Amino acid sequence: MNTPKRILVTGSAGRLGRAAVAELVARGHHVIGFDVLPTPGLPPERSIVAGLLDLGTLYRAATGADAIIHLAATPDDAKYPRGAAPDDGDNFVSELVPNNVIGPYQVMEAARALKIPRVVLASTGQVIDGHLVARNVPVTPESPPRPRYLYACTKVFLEALGQVYAKEHGIEVLAVRLGWCPRPGQEEEFRQSELGPDVYLSPGDAGRFFAATVEVAKLPPFAVVYATSLHTQIRQYDLTSSRELLGWEPRDRWPTE
C-alpha cells in the first residue's frame, strides 16, 4: 500500500478534478481541494474556495504538500472558429491569460517557494490538434506543438513553464496532454464528433491516472505524457510513456461512465 500523501488539487470541483479527488481520497491520501466552487467529497476545511490569484490562500493551501495536481483553467476558447464582426471576440485577455498563464505561474512559484517536489500540469490534446487533423497519428510526446487555437496556445506556454521550473528549480514536472472528458452541455458535441470516442477520457481512468502520478516513486525532471481511455477505432495518442513512467493503463472505453 502506498504511503498516504498530502496532495493539493487545483480545479478540484471540475469534472476531472472531482474524479482525481475521489480516487485519491479512496486510496487514503490527504487531499486539499482548491477551486472557485466547493469541492464535492471533501469536508469544508479541506475544500478551499478561492482563485489562483489569491496568493495568500494558495500558499496556505499548498504548504506541506507532497505534490500539486494543477487542473484549474478556463477550459476552452470562447469562440472557435471565430465569427465575422461583430461576433469575433475572444476570451484571451479576459480569461485565458489570468487563468491559464498567470495562474500556472503562481502555482509553479508556490511549488518553488515551498519546496514542493512534484507538480502535475494539465495540458490538452489541443496542443497537437494539427497532427490529428492531418491524421499524423498516433501522436507522441516528441511531436512538436500544432495548437488548435488560443486556448491551446496557453497550454503550450504551460508545458514550457513546467520545463523551465524543472530545469531551474529541481521540481519533478509532468505535463499531461489530456483526452476529452465531456463537460455538462458537451454531450451532443461529443456524440457528433468523429474524433471524440478515440480521445475520450473517462472519469474512472482519469482518477486512476492522477493517482498514479503522485504515487509513483520517481519521475524524470520533466516529461510529457498522454492520458485517454481505450480508443474505439483509431489510436490517436501514444500512451507508451504513460505506461512506462507511471505503470498506468486505461481500462475504459466510450461510452463508459
Q: Which of 108, 100, 107 is nearest to 150 (CA)?
A: 100
In Å, how far from its chain's centre is CA 55?
A: 21
pLDDT in tens, 159-193: 999 999 999 999 999 999 999 998 888 878 888 88
- In the DSSP assignment, the letter for residue 46 is G
Q: How does 214-224 read in b/e, with b if 16+ C-beta sit within 10 Å?
A: bbbeebeebbb
Residue 1 pLDDT greater than 70, yes or no: no
Residue 241 pLDDT greater than 80, yes or no: yes
User: What does pLDDT average to over the chain?
Assistant: 96
Q: Which of 199, 188, 201 is nearest to 233 (CA)?
A: 199
List Cβ<8 Å contacts ≥24 apart for 239-245.
240/140, 241/141, 242/209, 245/174, 245/216, 245/219, 245/220
Assess contact for 228 and 41: CB atoms under 8 A. Answer: no
- In the DSSP assignment, the letter for residue 230 is B
- Predicted confidence at residue 187, as pLDDT, reads 79
pLDDT in tens, 51-94: 999 999 999 999 999 999 999 999 999 999 998 999 899 999 99
- Predicted confidence at residue 183, as pLDDT, reads 82
For the entire predicted model, the pTM comes to 0.97
| Residue 191: all three cell numbers together | 456524440
Strand intervals (E) in the chain: 6-10, 30-35, 47-49, 67-70, 118-124, 172-178, 222-227
185: left (phi over 0), alpha (psi -120 to 50) or beta: left
- Predicted confidence at residue 211, as pLDDT, reads 98
- Predicted confidence at residue 257, as pLDDT, reads 57
In sequence order, which residues have a C-beta less than 8 Å from that of residue 23 and are 6 or more positions away? 207, 208, 210, 211
